[in-house]
A = this chain, B = another copy of it.
Amino acid sequence: MANGRVTVIDIAKAAGVSKSTVSLVLQGSPLVNEGTRTKVNAVMRDLGYVYNRGAANLRQSSAKSKIIGVVVNDLTNSFFAELAVGIDLVVQDAGFVQFLANTSESLDRQTEVIASMREHGISGLVVSPARGSRAIDFKALVSAGMPVVAVVRPVPGAKVSSLMSDNHTGLFSAVEHLAKLGHTRIAFFGGFEDTAIFQERLAGYRDGLAAAGFGYDEGLVFACAPSRAEGAKAVARAMAAGDRPTGGVCFNDAVAFGVYDGLRARRLEPGVDFAIVGFDDVIEAGTSVPALTTIAVDPQGMGRRAAQLLLKQINAGKAEAEAVVTPVRLVVRESCGVNRMKPGRRTA
């Protein structure tokens, strides 16, 4: 009290009870008499008491810290920002608070922040792993029995739970959609070839082509960093080639918008002269001109589900790794020229 911080002992003294009783009140125990409870609560309010969770955690089992860690690879990407918001939402409702760290795809940063979070006593971790993350990076956590949920990107070989969107089906249906509209030369834009997601999506793309009766042409795959600027460059490469595609599916929406830019730079109008399908369904997808046809994954929903999965494991006490695949769906808007475009017009 004198030194600034009010403790249970100060409350006990002021209320004329023992610290144990105050502790009981704090925990909402039914053992304490209604009269004492209200008196103690009143004193707490009067003295401006703040509960010291750190002290409590020391005595209790480590899993009760009410802190979870969230590590994302790129918070400036609105997909991950939405994801973080989704996590935050359910985590807050459960009375938890989250450490949020951004790694900017740096593995060193990732190991650093995870170590730091451990020291601070997180009771679980949701991580969207930095590029190149290996099972070894999470080894210490899982062998310490800490629940870990990997989202968006898999960590091959790691014994952690995972929540991934259905990449294969997503690209499959994107290709199917374009094929149905009459396109026969369909390109694939964006993504780093050395990632698992890229491979999953590429497989969906190939299978989609096969299902439509087309062959797979490596020359129609334009990998690049999944950013708007790189997407613009990728489509420039595609249109410079001899046998041009008439439409394309993109690794994500950012790339798709880059494709818009790249087309316009060549005086081609997206959705009229070229059909585009994105992936993610970021907020801008619905309001852009033309509105982007895309594969919706609902990042906020994914965040919520990831947090629920994690909380379930924390409460269960034991972390049984499980893999969840979240469904995606094709959202048809204007960028494939429905009602706007003559399909296949520049073909052959």
Considering the complex, which residues of chain A in the window 245-265 have a beta carbon less than 8 Å from any beta carbon of chain B?
257-258, 260-261, 264
Q: Evaluate contact between B50 and A54: CB separation under 8 angstroms.
A: no
Q: Report the interface size class on chain A.
A: 35 or more
Q: Tell which of A30-38, A118-126, A217-225 binds the partner.
A: A118-126
**B residues in contact with A304, CB < 8 Å:** none
**B residues in contact with A52, CB < 8 Å:** 58, 119, 121
* Residue A117 CB within 8 A of the other chain: yes
Q: Evaluate contact between A264 and B289: CB separation under 8 angstroms.
A: yes
Q: Evaluate contact between A85 and B102: CB separation under 8 angstroms.
A: yes
Q: Evaluate contact between A92 and B112: CB separation under 8 angstroms.
A: yes
Q: Evaluate contact between B121 and A53: CB separation under 8 angstroms.
A: yes
Q: Evaluate contact between A54 and B57: CB separation under 8 angstroms.
A: yes
Q: Evaluate contact between A76 and B67: CB separation under 8 angstroms.
A: no
**B residues in contact with A82, CB < 8 Å:** 76
A198 to chain B, nearest CB (A): 23
Q: Roughly how many angstroms separate A120 CA and B48 CA in the complex, as a whole number?
A: 16
Instruction: Mark interface residues in A66-87 (1 if CB within 8 Å of B CB, else 0).
Output: 1100100001101001101100
Known: A112-B92, A113-B92, A228-B287. A54 touches B97 (CB 8 A): no
* Residue A20 CB within 8 A of the other chain: no
* Residue A284 CB within 8 A of the other chain: yes
* Residue A100 CB within 8 A of the other chain: yes
Known: A84-B75, A228-B287. A116 touches B97 (CB 8 A): yes
Q: Kindly identify which residue among B62, B100, B229, B287 contacts A287, using a CB–CB cutoff of 8 Å.
A: B229
Q: Kindly identify which residue among B67, B76, B283 contacts A85, using a CB–CB cutoff of 8 Å.
A: B76
**B residues in contact with A95, CB < 8 Å:** 116
Q: Evaluate contact between B76 and A88: CB separation under 8 angstroms.
A: no
**B residues in contact with A144, CB < 8 Å:** 4, 48, 50
Q: Evaluate contact between B84 and A100: CB separation under 8 angstroms.
A: yes
Task: Give the interface centre of A92, A229, A287 by most chain B CB atoms within 10 Å.
Answer: A287
Q: Evaluate contact between A50 and B81: CB separation under 8 angstroms.
A: no
Considering the complex, which residues of chain A in the window 98-142 have a beta carbon less than 8 Å from any beta carbon of chain B?
98-102, 104, 109, 112-113, 116-121, 140
Given A97-B117, A258-B287, 5 additional A-B pairs, CB 8 A: A78-B78, A78-B81, A85-B102, A99-B100, A228-B287
Write the residues of chain A forming the contact surface with B, with a CB cutoff of 8 angstroms: 4-5, 48, 50-55, 57-58, 62, 65-67, 70, 75-76, 78, 81-82, 84-85, 88-89, 92, 95, 97-102, 104, 109, 112-113, 116-121, 140, 144-145, 228-229, 232, 257-258, 260-261, 264, 283-284, 287, 289
Identify 28 residue pairs between A and B in the complex whose beta-carbon atoms are under 8 Å apart, listed by A's number: A5-B62, A48-B140, A48-B144, A50-B119, A52-B121, A53-B119, A54-B54, A54-B57, A54-B58, A54-B120, A66-B120, A75-B84, A75-B88, A76-B78, A76-B85, A85-B102, A88-B101, A89-B102, A92-B101, A97-B101, A97-B120, A98-B99, A229-B287, A257-B287, A258-B287, A260-B289, A261-B287, A264-B289
